[in-house]
Amino acid sequence: MIVSNVFGIIIGVVVVIIGLYLLFFQWWSMFVGVFKGIVPILLVLIGAGVLVYFISEIKSKLEIGKEEAPASGEKKPEGK
């Protein structure tokens, strides 16, 4: 059981080393080119998501404030 785990770790390390070698020495220019295309799109999508989130937070806080205002304006019965 332990031997299979060690064997799996060794295979994983070898595959990572091969992948890093291929990435940095063979496909680096293509890899950077992909990021040049993806990063602007990701920034637009993340920015839009952040805007939607915070606008909805502001709206919900305003609605909570409107609900609390009439409740605080009500007259409380005096207990004698």
Gap between the Cα atoms of 23 and 42, Å rounded = 22
* Digit-coded pLDDT (tens) for 5-54: 888 999 999 999 999 998 888 888 888 888 888 999 999 999 999 999 99
Task: Tell me how far apart the alpha carbons of residues 18 and 11 are, in angstroms, rounded to a whole number.
Answer: 11
pTM recorded for the entire structure: 0.53
pLDDT at 54: 94
Print burial letters for 15-53: b (CB count within 10 Å at least 16), e (below 16). Answer: eeeeeeeeeeeeeeeeeeeeeeeeeeeeeeeeeeeeeee
